[in-house]
A and B are shown apart, each in its own frame.
Chain A
Amino acid sequence: MAITKDTVKYVAQLARIELKAKELEELAGQLQEIVNFIDKLKKVEIKNIPATSHILPMSNVLREDGPQESLAADKVLKQAPQREGDFFGVPKVIE
């Protein structure tokens, strides 16, 4: 699998990360090397092998749906880079 600057640019856009030209160049090279290394997994026979996404045999972890204490709104909002009253402030979404 070839990793080009365009691949990195596309994926960075998906991940919402702005990259400088120099970073783009560097990352393409490094990711190519890492992907080449990872490609050794293609040697492994995986036919009929199930995927393990969760290591413990657990399913449907449920709890009583009762009211519980929540965090103090003011304490939470204090952490926001931009606060407007009881809301988080963000730049304009719709032009």
Chain B
Amino acid sequence: MENELYKLTAHELLEKIDKKEITSQEIIGFLKKRIKGVDSKVKAYVRLKDANLQSATCNLQSTLKGIPISIKDNICTDGLHTECCSKILQGFKPPYDATVITKLKQAGATVLAYKTNMDEFAFGSSTENSYFGPTRNPYDLERVPGGSSGGSAAAVAADEAVWALGTDTGGSIRQPACFCATVGLKPTYGRVSRYGLIAFASSLDQIGPITKDVEDAALLMNIIAGFDPKDSTSVNSAVPDYLQALEKDIKGIKIAIPKEYFVSGIDQEVKAAVLAAIDKLKDLGAQTSEVSLAHTEYAVPVYYIIATAEASSNLARFDAVQYGFRAESKKGKTQNLIEMYKQTRGEGFGQEAKRRIILGTFALSHGYYDAYYLRALKVKTLIKQDFDKIFREFDCIVTPTSPTAAFKIGEKIKDPLKMYLSDIYTISANLAGIPAISIPCGFTKKVLPVGLQILAKPFNEELLFRVAYAYEQNTPWHLEKPKL
């Protein structure tokens, strides 16, 4: 039994702590052993050599009783490296905690000092764009774990983390959760404070849980959700007890199935698994109907204008003055301020970051603003209206999380557009600001995970948890483990 403990979920570990069968120090001990045992294969964590595993002692009497949590490298942790897996933030140790970290510490979580790998600044869908090199999918080490929160999802799947935080701007929690057979939730925009999250696209970013099961995701949301005066876009409305939403009954729930998510480009095995999952939901008492989200095909182009425009503005702060890396002056030359900026940013940003900053700067530049940025904001309105219409009649929408299972490392990295299109099913939720969850719903013949995405109207995470929990508790997928 002792050597199986790392497989347990947070709520199972809490039960064991309550029964005095284990202590939080023992949990940290076996987690450390597990990381040592498998991370050389998975590479879910970065800077493993530099830090002690445990960051600080915590209040053992509180809700989480010292249970450890793993954090994506773009969420600020006081005094602990936070580099967004980018050279330009080399050495950065934030002088403060993100609000989610403060809340976790107050709730008694042990925040691990090792951070999880990600695409640089969350730019990517495969975790290949990390300055530290790619993370590998625990189900097939030749394949990507998804991205950008690939390190968090892989760590949870490989039992190198009890649970983790990721961030989602266009699918960066849900797509890796799907590729690694874990649960991933992107909350409603404004539900979780973004204070201390190093911004990619401020109008789309949300922090959310990546966990081994739905109950853990609800438990974690209970802690991180809520209004924060430091984030003016966080919403001041009461946070329900999400654990109360975990019912196994979904009788009478009305589910919409958008036909645009099952057409060209979808892998047949993925389609079959998702259709079988929809049948299962029907067996459990839900009613389903086909609907249309007519502007679906425009979500990716709208996203790549809005997200890159905001990124180009947000990443202007990396100027080698206040933190991070600074390029040295060229041999025999003195560097003036502008050269210092340009050389630092040329050397410090990776290829995808440069691509996005330049695309975003272009979309905002004089003469192109109306044709690209303003047009994108208008099409965004149409995408949102599509969802509003559906939610007037239905409780939730069910789709595949990703059109394919995990692809091979190197398969899409040379073709940015192809990579962008792998987010085709997840991007709309960010544009519409609605919550969405990905849960495991099967495996392909090659034993690669398939994910089911459930979307609901703003601030209805409870419904997502209810439907996801009912499905999970009546299927075996969340109990599968990768062979490592």
- A residues touching B (Cβ–Cβ < 8 Å)? 1, 3, 7-8, 11-12, 14-20, 23, 27, 30-31, 33-35, 37-38, 40-42, 44, 46, 49-56, 58, 61, 63, 71-72, 75-76, 78-82, 88, 90-93, 95
Contact call A19/B233, Cβ cutoff below 8 A: no
Tell me which of A46, A82, A92 contacts B336 (CB under 8 A): A92
CB distance from A58 to the nearest CB of B (A): 7
Residues 300-336 of B at the A interface (beta carbon under 8 Å): 300-302, 304-305, 312, 316, 319-326, 329, 334-336
In the A-B complex, the 8 residue pairs with the smallest Cβ-Cβ separation, listed nearest first, are A55-B433, A18-B346, A51-B377, A81-B326, A79-B323, A75-B95, A18-B342, A61-B232
Contact call B378/A49, Cβ cutoff below 8 A: yes
Which segment of B173-181, B262-270, B349-357 sits at the interface? B349-357
Contact call A88/B335, Cβ cutoff below 8 A: no
Query: Does residue B298 face the partner (Cβ distance < 8 Å to A)?
Result: yes
Contact call A56/B301, Cβ cutoff below 8 A: no
Q: Which residue of B lies closest to A55 (CB)?
A: B433
Tell me which of B305, B320, B354, B380 contacts A19 (CB under 8 A): B354
Q: Which residue of A lies closest to B354 (CB)?
A: A17
Interface centre among B302, B320, B384, by most chain A C-beta atoms within 10 angstroms, is B320
Contact call A31/B378, Cβ cutoff below 8 A: no
Task: Report 6 cross-chain contacts, Cβ distance below 8 Å, ordered by A residue.
Answer: A16-B342, A30-B355, A41-B379, A52-B380, A54-B233, A63-B229
Q: Which residue of B lies closest to A62 (CB)?
A: B232
Query: Does residue B238 face the partner (Cβ distance < 8 Å to A)?
Result: no
Known contacts A18-B345, A58-B233, A82-B326; is-contact A52 B416 (Cβ 8 Å): no
Contact call A15/B312, Cβ cutoff below 8 A: yes
Interface majority SS on B: helix, strand, loop or mixed?
helix
B residues near A76, Cβ cutoff 8 Å: 95, 322
Which segment of B42-50, B112-120, B137-145, B358-366 sits at the interface? B358-366
Q: Which residue of A lies closest to B373 (CB)?
A: A51
Q: Which residue of A lies closest to B89 (CB)?
A: A79
A residues near B324, Cβ cutoff 8 Å: 79, 81
Contact call B323/A55, Cβ cutoff below 8 A: no
Interface majority SS on A: helix, strand, loop or mixed?
loop
Q: A2 CA to B474 CA in the complex, in Å?
A: 54
A residues near B321, Cβ cutoff 8 Å: 80-81, 88, 90
CB distance from A11 to the nearest CB of B (A): 5
Contact call B417/A37, Cβ cutoff below 8 A: yes
CB distance from A79 to the nearest CB of B (A): 4
B residues near A1, Cβ cutoff 8 Å: 368, 371
Contact call B189/A56, Cβ cutoff below 8 A: yes
CB distance from A43 to the nearest CB of B (A): 9
Query: Does residue B224 face the partner (Cβ distance < 8 Å to A)?
Result: no
A residues near B301, Cβ cutoff 8 Å: 37-38, 40-41
Query: Does residue B134 face the partner (Cβ distance < 8 Å to A)?
Result: no
CB distance from A3 to the nearest CB of B (A): 8
A-B contacts, CB under 8 A, total: 167
Contact call A41/B376, Cβ cutoff below 8 A: yes
CB distance from B473 to the nearest CB of A (A): 32
What's the tally of chain B residues with a CB closer than 8 Å to chain A?
74
Contact call B233/A91, Cβ cutoff below 8 A: no
Q: Which residue of A lies closest to B374 (CB)?
A: A51
Q: A8 CA to B358 CA in the complex, in Å?
A: 7
Interface centre among B300, B316, B324, B358, by most chain A C-beta atoms within 10 angstroms, is B358
Q: A28 CA to B308 CA in the complex, in Å?
A: 16
Question: With contacts A18-B342, A49-B378, A90-B321 known, what are 4 further pairs, Cβ within 8 A?
Answer: A8-B358, A30-B417, A44-B378, A79-B93
Query: Does residue B341 face the partner (Cβ distance < 8 Å to A)?
Result: yes
Query: Does residue B443 face the partner (Cβ distance < 8 Å to A)?
Result: no
Contact call A53/B312, Cβ cutoff below 8 A: no
Q: A31 CA to B347 CA in the complex, in Å?
A: 20
CB distance from B30 to the nearest CB of A (A): 34
Query: Does residue B375 face the partner (Cβ distance < 8 Å to A)?
Result: yes
Q: A50 CA to B338 CA in the complex, in Å?
A: 38
Known contacts A17-B342, A18-B345, A52-B384; is-contact A81 B372 (Cβ 8 Å): no
Q: Which residue of B lies closest to A10 (CB)?
A: B365
Known contacts A55-B433, A90-B340; is-contact A46 B375 (Cβ 8 Å): yes
Known contacts A11-B365, A30-B416, A50-B378; is-contact A56 B433 (Cβ 8 Å): yes
Q: A19 CA to B347 CA in the complex, in Å?
A: 9
B residues near A12, Cβ cutoff 8 Å: 358
CB distance from B285 to the nearest CB of A (A): 32
Contact call B361/A11, Cβ cutoff below 8 A: yes
B residues near A95, Cβ cutoff 8 Å: 336
Query: Does residue B235 face the partner (Cβ distance < 8 Å to A)?
Result: yes
A residues near B432, Cβ cutoff 8 Å: 55
Tell me which of B302, B340, B433 contacts A91 (CB under 8 A): B340
A residues near B368, Cβ cutoff 8 Å: 1
Contact call B358/A93, Cβ cutoff below 8 A: no
Query: Does residue B92 face the partner (Cβ distance < 8 Å to A)?
Result: yes
Known contacts A41-B375, A58-B233; is-contact A33 B298 (Cβ 8 Å): no
